[in-house]
Structure 1
Amino acid sequence: MKSRLLFILAFIATLISCATQPSKTDEEFKGKAVVYQVFTRLFGNTNETNKPWGTIQENGVGKFNDFTDKALSEIKDLGVTHIWYTGVPHHAVVTDYTQYGISLDDPDVVKGRAGSPYAVKDYYQVDPDMAIDPANRLQEFKALVQRTHQHGMKVIIDIVPNHVARHYEGLNNPNGVEDFGAADDTSVEYAVDNNFYYIPGKPFEVPEPLNGYQPLGGEENQMVDGKFDENPAKWTGNGSRKAQPHFYDWYETVKINYGVHPDGTHDFDSLPDGYELMSTEDHFQFWKGKEVPDSWVKFRDIALYWTDFGIDGFRFDMAEMVPVEFWSYMNSSIKHANPDAFLLAEVYNPGLYREYIHKGKMDYLYDKVELYDTLKHVMQGYGLTDNIPAIQTGLKDIEHHMLHFLENHDEQRIASPEFAGDAAKGKPAMVVSALISTSPTMIYFGQEVGEPGAEDAGFGDPSRTSIFDYIGVPHHQRWMNDGAFDGGRLSPAEKDLRDFYKRLLNFTTNSKALMGEYKEIHSYNRNRSNGYDSKVFSFARWSEDEHLIVVSNFDVQTKSFDLQIPSELIGEWDLPDSFYIMTDQLYGSESELEVTESKGIINVELDPLESLVLRIE
């Protein structure tokens, strides 16, 4: 009865809120967010040696200070509103920093030489690789955060709640903060306030290597002995319960216990019915004073520490592997401290999207398995644009929460032969991805200049820019131009590609139509227009004072056709029979919309991989 009453009260509150909120025209316009993901230790590296398994001395490394005022100004001018500085928290590395009081990490449980950014070793400190003076590394990062804010952009960093490095060692914990696992009862597999899961009576064994793998590429190192001291063994980060995980398990990490028994039952309160409709403050009050597992408190305190530090938001790794109730607790605490915090999460199961948005209070989730994967197949030449409309229809109620991207650190570069082999094939996909929804857009550093990720860095395969090793990023380095950040070494094609991204992203942040209504006109045209096929996609976006028709050609052949505008859209836009000039918002060409008997026609000719973003003047 109580839960039903809460539901009714929440529904009434929602109606009152909607009735009393000012209209969009009364509010200050807030355009789409654009996130620039940068792999922080690679961004400023000018070293072009690129030796497989190269050391930090051989291959170089980027620093926090490489994000100069000029660099940040150029990123801002690209159209960026948020920078996600990937790999900032101190993670396990092979480089020796013992002179700074940092213990050595064992190469047997570190992937690559520079280490995975998702094997965090100390959550209250930052990666020493990226500091000019490792002893002063936190202050150097603080200065970077302040510079970023001065350039009008917000800062996002990673939090990885599902797992930590196998050798976690918090040397910088605030007063009163106990280290992960310090108070664990290691004699049992599970206890509610244990931070880890254990395999009592069995020591950890390093995985059997596959495919000729050797730590550090076979280089001699006194710590490379096929052993790692962990007794009893802990569960591995991806959930493996074996004392000797498989080589393809996340063996460099250990899984965090959130009060979930090995059989899946849990030792924490569930959210009552109706809380999916309630505010983050309601969620904050629900958890206030309740007993929760120790790991919940530790990660909440980590998030609040960085919020107080000046961080504006977080990207949460593998969020669906952590209970949604924890996210309600965590995110409501963050929003209580900073209502404008930008909270982005990896959730790959579409069946969980709404639960993690509404109950878990996530702002944004990756739209990976639906829009990204569909666009990837179209770019690769065997997918059909006919599959796009159903995606937007299915996500209509949560479309604003589904962040769009074409590249990130986990995915293959568009320009890599293993993906599309040509960065230009990403242009129509980028137009569709960026303009089809009110959701944020994300690009990965180097994407805007066609970086192919072709280097053999050591751990892992080419086609993805390595996140495990010290490496240079060649196309990006040509734009960086030895720290001038002026694109001075880019080829003409690379300059044109970056110009395209700059035009597109700046348009997205300033267009009111993109925060307004959407209607696909692709299906209507597939049945009516000669020359319009499954390699073309079109849709309309509009607000009260801006009306757009977007049409993209994914083909490497020219397309010519009469684009049909359905009568219901002509009626919605209140366009009497007449001729209307439409101007492309990217490059300024003009087209003509003819409205006759409440139906519209635009004669369209699209060059290979070209898009038009047509606005009615």
Structure 2
Amino acid sequence: MNQVPDRVPNVRLVLEILHSRKGACGADWFVPERWNHAAYRGGTADPGRPGELRVDPCDFFAACIEKALREGGTAQEPGGRKRLTESVIYGMLVRSFTAWPHHDAGEVCSGTFLKTMALLPLLRRYGVDIVYLLPVFSCSDRYKKGRLGSPYAIKDIYKLDAALHDPLLGEDTGELLEAEFQAFVELCHWLGMKVVLDFAFRTTARDSVLIADHPDWFCWIRKECAVGFRAPSLGDGTTTREVNDETLRELYTSSQTPTYLAQFTWSPDRIDPDRWASVRASAGDDLLGAIEDQFGITTAPGFSPVINDQQPPWTDATYLRFYHDNAAQVGKYVADGQAPFVMQDSASLSKYPGAKPTEELWRYVEGVMPHYRTHFGIDGARIDMAHAMPAEHNASIVRRIREVDPKFLLWSEEFDCGKGAQAGRDGFDLISGYTYYDYKRIHDADFARSILDNGFLASPIPVVASVETPDTPRSALGHPDKASLRLILTLNSFMPNAVPFINSGQELLEVQPMNLGLDNTEDGRFVLPPGDPMAGRLAFFDPYCLHWTSGDTWVDAVLQETLRLRRHYLSLLGDPGNFVKQEDLLHHGNLTMLCYHDSTYIDGLVVAANRSLTTELSLRLALEHPATIPVGKEVKIVYDAHGPCRRSVSSTDDVLLSPCEVVVIEIGK
């Protein structure tokens, strides 16, 4: 490409470096054939690496980026706002999305901003206009899980993860890594995509850079207590219980609690100010290690705020102290002189805030999103554990970013759709919901009631529509039969008040989870055949590459087909007010009907699904449709078990739905 548009100066820089280094990176460099959306002709096949191409990497990625530049440029400028329900989100962990064993040695090379921007045109096939990135910040390798450590063990949230620099561009100077991320954002905008980052404010890495200047922002325990450290439990220790005044009373009067609280101690600067000053000055890059050696204390591992949650402790992360004091409800249970501590109440600050905010910490957090908006041009943020942050602080975070960009997209990790109204009042634009769990029960009789009344329709702001997430088991594992998986993928494209979400690897029929955080156990790590190079690995913690050479492409096709159809009817589907709920069908054993009608244009759409695994179902639209929707004598079926179609049928005819079949019917035209 001879001329790179002025709107993308950092893309131009990346291309200049790639062209200057053509031929300098060796001949034995492989990429999956599926990456070759640019029809690059310089690659060769190798019998020993089926499904891959041997390429000149600099030349190959330059060709991919130049193709993206040719495709884009006509989309609306970033910052424009349309209904979120007209969007599609693609979520990824950069370091695994484009990870690959590029060399004969077989070692998995990390995904990078460069390789990921080169693959952006692949996402356009699904109509993706929001690219959601799991944390891309400098993360810790102390107390890390797996070989790489978690992206949520954030050591310095104001600094990018150096591992996301691509060595194809030469040595990282710090400035180059930032230019790579800026180029990624620029190319997303050029293609009409917004960039949303995942921010974790409630927790930080155990050895966070913040310790040096603010050791009092952390809870400390005696080092010998770190092994086996767990939050107190109640009852049998396995039945989850919400945090409320009654359960707090039980927790704080439990026989476990005195022993638990005795593990905590004061911060090193308070224990011995002079020794702290000396250790801080001489520690180098391992300040926490020096504190452990010199003071015998360490930061307290984190844990789930849900009582009796079976998640293991977060040994790589710790809670920040957003208050200098405890909630008023627990003060009567805590002895004078107790060192700062964390329990389930102080992990749930939206319910149990203190009265004395750690003001400087609040200001530090409030500056993070404006920094990434101003320096890199990102368009939005998902706030991890937003539901556990102080409501007052959430409000100040929202206020600060909206002063910088009034249209900045804010996504709350709120699972309970019934709390969507509060999230909206707090300034958030959408919530996560937990539709994965509903789809897990797709064949249950009350599926429609659960996913609609308790899910999408329970929230006044849009809900992320996901059949899997980075924290849950994969949909291809939970629905191993093709018919069921196709059923949930298709329905997910047409839900009301929804923003469809694609989790990276979902389109490749990936079965290995990225994490074991939700609805999983340690056994969930071992779902791949023992001979698979990725067996036992989790993308959150280990070098992991997706199965790009898998020959099965049917999920990819279903996603493209259904989301293309969704885009065709977007003016109808994108307005939640056009959805007409079928109350009498919410408890139907097998039939789910999603009905949309625009009275202004007298047109509508019916999405009918037979959720039975074994039984056919007969549908006569003239009888089954809502009374408020005029059907007419003839309707058009535009999608069925074979994919997109267009055939007219009488509304009085019986339409036979095979087990797990979804049909999409156009009415009123």
Task: Confirm or deny a common fold (TM above 0.5).
Answer: yes
2:661 alignment counterpart: 610
Q: Which residue of 2 aligns with 1:554?
A: 611
Could you tell me which residue of structure 2 aligns to residue 16 of structure 1? none
Matched, 1:588 2:645: yes
Among 405, 423, 431, the alignment partner of 2:466 is: 405
Preserved CA contact (<8 Å) 1:260 1:266? no
| Distance in structure 2 (CA, Å) of the matches to 1:401 and 1:164 | 29
Q: Cα deviation per residue 1:566-590 (whole Å; 9 max; x = unaligned)?
A: 68834x33456x3344433951142
CA distance in 1, matches of 2:654, 2:328: 59
Aligned to 2:315: 251
Corresponding residue SS for 1:512: helix
Q: Distance in 2 between matches of 1:29 and 1:456?
A: 31
- Provide the C-alpha distance between the structure 1 equivalents of 2:311 and 2:647, rounded to a whole number of angstroms: 57
1:30-45, aligned counterparts within 5 Å?
32-45=86-99
Distance 1:408 1:609 in 2: 23
Q: Quick one: structure 1 residues 334 and 68, their matched pair in 2 at CA, closer, same or farther if it must change by over 3 Å?
A: closer
Change (3 A) 1:319 1:57: farther
Deviating more after overlay: 56-65 vs 144-153 = 56-65
User: Post-superposition shift, 1:612?
Assistant: 1.2
Name the structure 2 match of 1:238. 303
Cα deviation 1:212-251 (Å, max 9, x = unaligned): xxxxxxxxxxxxx9x96575433433379xxxxx992112
- AA matched with 1:234: T
**Residue 86 in structure 1 maps to residue 134 in structure 2:** yes
TM-score normalised per structure 1: 0.68
Q: CA deviation at 1:49?
A: 10
Q: Residue 188 of structure 2 aligns with which residue?
A: 148
- Compared with structure 1, are the counterparts of its residues 76 and 385 closer, same or farther at alpha carbon in structure 2 (3 Å cutoff)? farther
1:502 is the counterpart of 2:578 = no
- Residue 162, structure 1, aligned to residue 213, structure 2: no
- Confirm or deny: 8 A CA contact 1:112 1:459 kept in the other structure: no
Per the alignment, residue 286 of structure 2 pairs with none
Q: CA–CA distance in 2 between the matches of 1:444 and 1:158?
A: 14
1:435-450 → structure 2 map (5 Å cutoff): 435-450=494-509
The reply to whether residue 66 of structure 1 matches residue 127 of structure 2 is no
For these two proteins, the number of residue pairs brought into alignment is 473
Cα distance in 2 for partners of 1:459, 1:557 equals 30
Q: Which residue of 1 aligns with 2:61?
A: none
Q: Aligned-pair distance for 1:473?
A: 1.4
Q: 1:256 to 1:366 in 2, by over 3 A?
A: same
Q: For structure 2, list consecutive stretches of 5 or more residues without a partner in the other structure.
A: 1-80, 231-288, 332-355, 517-521, 528-536
Mapped contact 2:321–2:358 kept (Cα < 8 A): no
SS at match of 2:431: strand
- The match for 1:280 is none
Look up the equivalent residue of 2:594 and give its one-letter code: F
Shift of 1:610: 2.4
**1: distance between equivalents of 2:125 and 2:451?**
31
C-alpha deviation, 1:119, in angstroms? 0.6
Q: Does 1:131 align with 2:165?
A: yes
CA 1:602–1:451: 2 relative to 1, 3 Å:
farther
Correspondence list, 1:330-409, <5 A: 330-349=397-416, 352-358=419-425, 360-368=426-434, 371-378=435-442, 383-394=443-454, 396=457, 398-409=459-470
**What secondary structure sits across from 2:609 in the alignment?**
strand
Q: Is the 8 A contact 2:431 2:461 kept in 1?
A: no
CA deviations over 1:66-104 (Å, ceiling 9, x no partner): 1244x2112112210111122311112xxxxxxxxxxxx
TM-aligned CA deviation for residue 467 of structure 1: 1.2
For residues 78 and 38 of structure 1, what CA distance do their matches in structure 2 show? 15
Corresponding letter in the other structure for 1:554: R
Cα pair distance change 1:292/1:68, threshold 3 Å: closer
Residue identity in the other structure for 1:411: T
- 2:156 corresponds to which residue? 122
CA distance in 2, matches of 1:611, 1:410: 28
Instruction: Give the 3 Å change call, closer, same or farther, for CA 496–402 of structure 1 in structure 2.
Output: same
Tell me, in whole angstroms, the C-alpha distance in 2 between the residues paired with 1:410 and 1:602. Answer: 44
Change (3 A) 1:573 1:520: closer
- Residue 319 (structure 1) aligned with residue 386 (structure 2): yes
Decide which moves more: 111-120 or 332-341.
332-341
Name the structure 1 match of 2:283. Answer: none
Q: What is the DSSP-based 3-state SS (H/G/I as helix, E as strand, rest coil) of the residue aligned with 2:604? A: strand
CA RMSD of aligned residues (A): 3.8
Distance in 1 (alpha carbons) for counterparts of 2:324 and 2:654: 60
* 1:433 corresponds to which of 481, 489, 492: 492
Cα distance change, pair 589–266 in 1 and its aligned pair in 2 (3 A): farther
Q: Following the alignment from structure 2 to structure 1, what is the Cα–Cα distance between the partners of residues 178 and 607?
A: 45
Instruction: Give TM-score scaled by structure 2 length.
Output: 0.63
Q: Could you tell me whether the CA contact under 8 Å between 1:582 and 1:593 is conserved in 2?
A: no
Q: Deviations over 1:151-186 (max 9, x none)?
A: 1111111110110001112xxxxxxxxxx34443x5
2:373 corresponds, among 276, 290, 307, to 307
Instruction: Give the number of the structure with larger relative contact order, counting CA–CA contacts within 8 Å between residues 6 or more apart.
Output: 1
User: Which residue among 594, 606, 617 is the counterpart of 1:539?
Assistant: 594
Partner of 1:112: 146
Give a deviation string over 1:417-466, Cα, whole Å, max 9, x none: xx222465222222323312122111101112211117999998145953
CA distance in 1, matches of 2:388, 2:316: 17
Shift of 1:409: 1.0
- Asked whether the equivalents of residues 409 and 465 of structure 1 are also in contact (C-alpha less than 8 Å), the reply is no
C-alpha separation in 1, matches of 2:224 and 2:363? 27
Residue in 1 aligned with 2:574? 515
Compute the displacement of 1:373 (Å). 1.1
Higher mean alpha-carbon deviation, 606-615 vs 345-354, is at: 345-354
> CA distance change for structure 1 residues 424 and 315 in 2, over 3 Å: closer, same or farther?
farther
Tell me, in whole angstroms, the C-alpha distance in 2 between the residues paired with 1:503 and 1:447.
15
